[in-house]
Structure 1
Amino acid sequence: MNEQKILNFLGIAQRANQIISGQELVLKAIKKQHAKFVFIASDTGNVAQKDFLLALERQQIAYTDYFSQIQLSSAIGRSTKSIAIMDIGFAQRFRELIND
């Protein structure tokens, strides 16, 4: 997995307005099945992480918790611990990049 390539592509998704960030907005997108792929910061608290994982498993949405809050925040230019990818094309590309 090429971490920098994924983070750079996350910045592209941000500029294309294809992401939502922030715990409440991301959880809402997951529950409404608008999120196609989700990034959860590896340093997210246990309670919040459990909420995300339950919702993601229930809706069968792919996710990764590999990156830290600092990495995710730097990639999109604002502080966040969670990011939902809203576009199916971007989501597929993230799955490919993570599985490489």
Structure 2
Amino acid sequence: MMKTRPKTLSTLGMAMRAGKLITGDETVLKAVRQGKAKLVILAADASDNTKKKFRDKCATYNVKCMEAFDRITLGEAIGKSERVILGLTDAGFAKSIVQSLTESSEVEYID
């Protein structure tokens, strides 16, 4: 499991409050099909079937799909109960989250 990234989690919270984040299998799938989803985040502890379903669907519709955190952490970040799948519908939030998940800045880990 990856180290906790507070910047990523707070960005998810901001996206939720801004109404630019959706959750739930069917809702996220619909957004991917309609081209509204800019980024899909899967919980690391999602089932293999769920991971495959969303990876395949995102690949088909050319939507970036990332695996990060666990269902409890994702839920807490957006002020909800456990969440396995999140979809971002705003390109700005999506870009910010992709950058914060992929950058390997040593500065973040200094105590």
State the TM-score, normalizing by the size of structure 1: 0.92
Q: Which has the larger radius of gyration?
A: 2
Q: How many equivalent pairs are there? A: 100
- Quote the offset at 1:32 in angstroms: 1.3
Deviations 1:24-83 (A, max 9, x none): 111111111110011111111111111101101111111211210011000011132111
Deviating beyond 6 angstroms after TM superposition, the runs of 4 or more aligned structure 1 residues are: none
Task: Determine which of 88, 91, 98 is the counterpart of 2:91.
Answer: 88
Percent of pairs with identical residues: 32
State the TM-score, normalizing by the size of structure 2: 0.84
Residue in 2 that maps onto 1:43: 45
Residue in 2 that maps onto 1:67: 69
Pairwise CA RMSD of aligned residues? Answer: 1.4
Structure 1 unaligned blocks of 5 or more: none
Alignment partners' CA distance in 2, 1:35 and 1:65: 15
Distance 1:2 1:78, change over 3 A: closer
Contact 1:35 1:86 in 2 (8 A): yes
